[in-house]
Structure 1
């Protein structure tokens, strides 16, 4: 299968060099948007671009909610590059190797929504990404194309880098708002949604780095071109972060809808040590597991949802036979327990209890009642927090119990 690279192809040569980006055709998407700002949303709708940071929400609908707010208000576009979940490393690659496509996409979003503040929100632990993005933004500040955007908006464009807290919870969209305002990244209750009340109470659009990068290419080449890149009913390409027990882990840009088997065995080179495939955490560790019977599944939003799973960020963490599912799940739930901000007691206490029970079972000291307690918590806890952290922790535990209950049962102490 030959793939037309959209996001990674320019990353090989461009870096933070704006002239090199323009020489490759960069800026054409923004110029197209400037020539017809009212057509941006319809183009994205026709392309069927969806949020690529995990939720998969239609991008044009999110932008339309922001655009509906009065144009004279201060408006913010926040490019979310916090990326702190295990197994996810696509946004860092884009920011380090080709930040200009992200900035261009963000400026297109500003045009579509009449925004005058554009902030790239980057994890400070990614030192190289922060440095490259700062350099890239300095070049845009002296660029005539940015001046054209400001002229269209009839006010200056505030383009800047904002470092995140570096915490996992800092990537949740309302926590992004809190960080940009200078506070601790506590998630906030919704509604109101960011499009109505975000940074300093003003309309705010928050999109993932990859989503915005795609927008630049869609406006450049058109919706039909983008749709044709996908397989089946899926549209465009997707960055898949492949890690775990594979021979060639790495970042792969493939057509949306590429089968899981193709990603792992053709691009990833198959399993380490010639072991058998056991399972994969799809979309990162906050989603469900898929087993050997699911290797045929196309990796796109709707097909994975029909299988009871989720594409998430596109992270695929592969597990081979001989690796303990209980231990891997325990490690990820430990991560969630450490990442809980403590604002919602059910989340803080719930993730701690899940972690404690999993560690008991993993170390051979768990009892049959611990399995029942795990299941009960997984049904009780979702929806009890202001963000999705507790939901993700419960999802991965419940999914692993459903798929690999025999492993859990084999590790508990028999009673009676």
Structure 2
């Protein structure tokens, strides 16, 4: 998929791969140098820029950084979460392959801001090119002496390392990330305590998404107002939108945060295959509420999408055209969640399995009205029954599809 690039994160000249010298020649490192001069100004600057977490929740970044920065001196961890394994999401792998130094510099700035002495790049091992690029980039930062400004700012030595994730979907949940970095199985943990209080080996830990860190060097280099003005309306910055499904030009698009859904699908994505009509879109990956043709005017930022009853999530947009079965798509995605459950919480493992079984029965023309009733019953029983949000995501997409496209389900029933 050929991405359409603008002039912020993924400008062509900045796609230098693991070549640190080329990154520095383009102005890389300036944000880190500015950060090292005044570490206490970093968190307020990130707050003023209104940088959000780009891994799904859109949580204000400074609110994650501040408690780690305020924590007691000693071992602290910054983890870049590059596990990215949800269907329809492919932004982080591009950043890690083509501009890993932007990501690393952002994580190092976070270390300066929080006083962390451990920085971990946590990358999905299935992404071989990303692993290779990050591994070489990490080696250059360590071996060529470019960690000195960070170590001077934090008053001690800094460890920078690449840690392959488990490669499992559940391994991207932040407490599962911590478990993996500790050397264990990626079992999510109950919160509280939150990672900022007790993370890796019980130490204060900051976990942010790859794309979040990639925005940080630009903010430290150009300022908060520059970043805010990149967005549309009340939104700030740019966003990487992973566009896939029934569109003519699927790909990765970096656009102003707040770009309208119809502009993404029709202006950038070229419209739908075979001239079909737009039917729906799975927003932020397949774990959120479906948006329909009635929502094509929505601005793709966290608040605007939430106001329409869905979530922007990772920025993945999986487009469905008229003629494509919603029931089949939902069955496929819930099957993914079922296989991705770690099994730690029986309601999640058993519940997602039962959802998959019922959906497959209906999709293949073997379902009866009692199966539809059982689906609805599970959607009422399962939310909140797991330690993480996996089962909630599976329920959300089923419940949304039942609300928006119930007629498709009923048309497939045999009794």
> What TM-score results when the alignment is normalised by the length of structure 1?
0.97
Number of the residue aligned with 1:150:
151
For residues 135-214 of structure 1, the aligned pairs below 5 Å read 135-214=136-215
Matching of residue 39 in structure 1 with residue 44 in structure 2: no
For residues 324-363 of structure 1, the aligned pairs below 5 Å read 324-363=325-364
For residues 3-402 of structure 1, the aligned pairs below 5 Å read 4-9=6-11, 13-71=15-73, 73-402=74-403
For the Cα contact (< 8 Å) 1:11–1:98, is it kept in 2? Answer: no
CA distance in 1, matches of 2:357, 2:66: 44
Residue by residue over 1:108-156, the C-alpha shift from the partner in whole angstroms, topping out at 9 and shown as x without a partner, is: 0001110000000000000110000010011101344411211221211
CA distance in 2, matches of 1:118, 1:356: 42
Instruction: Quote the offset at 1:355 in angstroms.
Output: 0.4
CA distance in 2, matches of 1:294, 1:239: 20
- Cα RMSD over matched residues? 1.1
CA distance in 2, matches of 1:191, 1:236: 31
Pick closer, same or farther for the CA change 1:140–1:308 going to 2, 3 Å: same
CA distance in 1, matches of 2:97, 2:14: 10
Instruction: Quote the offset at 1:3 in angstroms.
Output: 8.2
Question: SS of 2:147's equivalent?
Answer: helix
For the Cα contact (< 8 Å) 2:43–2:66, is it kept in 1? Answer: yes
Q: Mean Cα displacement is larger for which, 170-179 or 27-36?
A: 27-36
For the Cα contact (< 8 Å) 2:281–2:317, is it kept in 1? Answer: yes
CA distance in 2, matches of 1:143, 1:239: 31
For the Cα contact (< 8 Å) 1:29–1:216, is it kept in 2? Answer: yes
For the Cα contact (< 8 Å) 1:10–1:98, is it kept in 2? Answer: no
> What TM-score results when the alignment is normalised by the length of structure 2?
0.98
Question: SS of 1:238's equivalent?
Answer: strand
For the Cα contact (< 8 Å) 2:5–2:12, is it kept in 1? Answer: no
Instruction: Quote the offset at 1:11 in angstroms.
Output: 6.5
Aligned residues: 412
Instruction: Quote the offset at 1:215 in angstroms.
Output: 1.0
Runs of 4+ in 1 over 2 A off after TM superposition: 2-5, 10-13, 142-145
Instruction: Quote the offset at 1:5 in angstroms.
Output: 2.5
Question: SS of 1:240's equivalent?
Answer: strand
Residue by residue over 1:12-71, the C-alpha shift from the partner in whole angstroms, topping out at 9 and shown as x without a partner, is: 541111111111111111111111111101111111001000011100010001111112
Pick closer, same or farther for the CA change 1:10–1:40 going to 2, 3 Å: farther
* Structure 2 unmatched ranges of 5 or more: none
Residue by residue over 1:150-199, the C-alpha shift from the partner in whole angstroms, topping out at 9 and shown as x without a partner, is: 12212111000000000000000000001001111000111111011111
Q: Mean Cα displacement is larger for which, 280-289 or 372-381?
A: 372-381
Residue by residue over 1:214-245, the C-alpha shift from the partner in whole angstroms, topping out at 9 and shown as x without a partner, is: 11111111000000000000000000000000
For the Cα contact (< 8 Å) 1:96–1:128, is it kept in 2? Answer: yes
CA distance in 2, matches of 1:18, 1:212: 17
CA distance in 2, matches of 1:270, 1:321: 13
